[in-house]
Amino acid sequence: MSYQQYGISPQLVQRVKLKMKNPATKERVKALVEGLTKADLQDAGKVRRLVRTSSTLLNERLTGVEEERITQFVLAQKIDPKNTFHLIRLWGMFR
């Protein structure tokens, strides 16, 4: 399912992708998500904190609605960071 179906704007995704091309920013975000488990990514509270922290690192101001939509999107994907197929699928969504 596409992120757009969750009401996440393509403009926001494009801005984030552009900012993630900065090596320093990319490393800060990688450090944030390092060691996450599938259980962490199914915990709404943890995901919401990750979204808030990531948006701060990327200097993106999110509304409460945007924050909630991104959180719901992440939860719905049932991401297992140890599963290569899941990571490839995510990569494909945001290429």
Residue 90 has pLDDT above 90, yes or no: no
Give the residue-averaged pLDDT of 32-55: 95
Burial class (CB in 10 A: 0-12, 13-18, 19+), 72: middle
Q: What is the pLDDT of residue 22?
A: 94
pLDDT for residue 1: 62
Is there a contact between 39 and 78 (Cβ–Cβ < 8 Å)? Answer: no
Tokens linked to 46: 């943890």
CA atoms within 13 A on the CB side of 71: 19
pLDDT band at 61 (very low <50, low <70, confident <90, very high): very high
Six token digits for residue 3: 């992120």
- Structural domain including 23 reads 3-93
Kindly state the average pLDDT of the residues 23-50: 94
Percent of residues, the chain, with pLDDT higher than 90: 82
Give the residue among 4, 5, 7 at the shortest CA–CA distance from 69: 7
Q: How many domains does the chain have?
A: 1
- Say yes or no to pLDDT of 49 above 90: yes
The whole-number average pLDDT for the span 73-78 is 94
- Average pLDDT over the chain reads 92
